[in-house]
Structure 1
């Protein structure tokens, strides 16, 4: 009898729990808002298209569309709500994509004001509020320097910057000649990039505010010294050059020098402020590592075409036998795994996430800026991990 009663109670609990879950999954909400032109301080009027985006990990993104009415308002009725979904809004106004978040609390969506702006092709309204140049690794065998650059492109006007009709109207960034393995990433909506002379150009509109971009590349070097010329097309209110201590010696005409520990690594940091538009910074690298003879031969032999490995291998064997008595000690001393000096790009980004967390915990960074920058770096770290797994 007791067992039967317990079974009934268990069945009832399961039924009610399932009912609660079903109810939570099937709740419907209304999403309301308006589209406001902040340049003019008025609503945009009627017939402006607004899109609602609903995405989750388990299903493809769903999109609904509606239009503003005469009061610049819009509404999406009876939207299926789940706490596991992400909800966002977007609109296209005068050729620019604008996005906005939807705040949902206690099963109800707050009224959302989606901001848009008039446009300008004058690039004087944009500038770099922050820029950083980081040496992330040095491959001594292939003689390549890995570089990561971060830039915060800012627009403090009340206009959205859009590119003009000429090729020089693009948002351009320079990279050193001979650079390879270029990777670009940004959270700017609908942003793309194209290769241009001496660098790349960002194809995007920039509304008022701060916009983060990140790009990395490898540059070759020949001897123990190299020089990199960094151009600041849009100037920079704050700029920094970072490199791990002990990896290489670096000199630049920046005003301040200090050191900081990021992710258990000591970085040397050069800093400068108020760099003028169009300025150039010469970055001099000395004491670059060079591969030893046997390491270089091993690396070149590994890259050799298959049909040549037999004859060349035999030749190397004959040479080794003829010089065995003289160079046996050297050969034994150099028989070890090649070492690639420097940290990987993933490690550097992990270090920057750690430093960002520390700044936030010390209340040196506001919550919104912290979330934006951390999400940006986590997204980049995930991309690197997926690329590594794919290879």
Structure 2
């Protein structure tokens, strides 16, 4: 069984296809027991909660749709569902403003499905940053730009889902990430449900709900530098149990200051020099320094000067 959170297309497909049970052809029929459980300590069972079902075949086409409502114990049974030879069954529940989804394969239907839901909190401190790794992916000496990728592992070990208040950004109830000065071409990926990425201070914030458990965020970007070194503050607003910077050997002699040098890391046949800090409290951050950065060659500098708009303006 695979957990998916925030699958908006489920709701859209059910609305488009109708919310009553719908079977595409004469097939073997099965019943599926669904149980919705509130994982927040002391919370009441989620009674009278609508449940949505979308079944799709191997070709991705909708094979059946249905809806139901939990009883006083959080249980419901879907009956007369077509047993597909492949594909999947997606069960979704919207509880307290968060969409929870479980996905079953046809061979798993006999086991039934449990959907865990949680009460919500605005307290961002329930989410811990286990590890944040910045990888220097490339350095363009001619443009004086650095490309980087960051991988962040987070965990919500509470029994409540963090539900950011996007209507009140001043509360800062969402996950925040800082970026180097002058960053551009930002791209953010995550296994959190898709929600808006908003600009906050010198970085960005992810407004997605964060259910209890482990999650990941990945983002890439490009930022400029001048001279042979660049220093900036990485505030690590939520702190980090481990913060690392990795530089592949091919970019030697680029090195990092502000962190402790540790043993090199090998990833997919590539060796990376590594620097790290541990036990960083929220907001304390690190003073990061990238050193021995390459400078443009003489031909690059000449070409840059010749093509500079300011030079042509001066001549004209």
- TM-score, normalised relative to structure 1: 0.65
Of 212, 223, 226, the match for 2:216 = 212
Match for residue 258 of structure 2? 253
Maintained 8 Å contact 1:163/1:169:
yes
Match for residue 289 of structure 2? 284
Of 76, 98, 109, the match for 1:96 = 98
Match for residue 3 of structure 2? none
1:80–1:296: structure 2 CA closer, same or farther, 3 Å change rule?
farther
CA distance in 2, matches of 1:154, 1:265: 28
1:249–1:67: structure 2 CA closer, same or farther, 3 Å change rule?
same
Residue 37 (1) aligns with residue 42 (2): no
| TM-superposed deviation, 1:210 | 1.1
Instruction: Give structure 1 stretches of 5+ with no counterpart.
Output: 1-24, 313-391
Alignment deviations for residues 248-271 of structure 1 (CA, whole Å, 9 cap, x no partner): 422233345111322222111223
CA distance in 2, matches of 1:55, 1:285: 50
Which contiguous aligned blocks of 4+ residues in structure 1 show a shift greater than 6 angstroms? 299-304
Q: Secondary structure at the match of 1:59?
A: coil
1:56–1:270: structure 2 CA closer, same or farther, 3 Å change rule?
farther
The residue correspondences of 1:51-130 to structure 2 (distance < 5 A) are 51-55=52-56, 58-60=59-61, 63-102=65-104, 104-105=106-107, 108-130=109-131
CA distance in 2, matches of 1:109, 1:175: 48
The residue correspondences of 1:196-275 to structure 2 (distance < 5 A) are 196-247=200-251, 248-275=253-280
Q: Secondary structure at the match of 2:235?
A: strand
Match for residue 191 of structure 1? 195
CA distance in 1, matches of 2:162, 2:103: 22
| TM-superposed deviation, 1:194 | 1.2
CA distance in 1, matches of 2:44, 2:307: 65
Question: What is the Cα-based RMSD across aligned positions, in Å?
Answer: 2.8
Alignment deviations for residues 15-40 of structure 1 (CA, whole Å, 9 cap, x no partner): xxxxxxxxxx9443322211111113
Maintained 8 Å contact 2:229/2:292:
yes
- TM-score, normalised relative to structure 2: 0.79
More helix by share: 1
More strand by share: 2
Instruction: Give structure 2 stretches of 5+ with no counterpart.
Output: 1-25
The structure with higher relative contact order (CA 8 Å, sep 6+) is 2
Q: Secondary structure at the match of 1:277?
A: coil
Q: Secondary structure at the match of 2:296?
A: coil
The structure with more radius of gyration: 1
Residue 28 (1) aligns with residue 29 (2): yes
Maintained 8 Å contact 1:236/1:274:
yes
| TM-superposed deviation, 1:189 | 2.1
Maintained 8 Å contact 1:102/1:110:
no
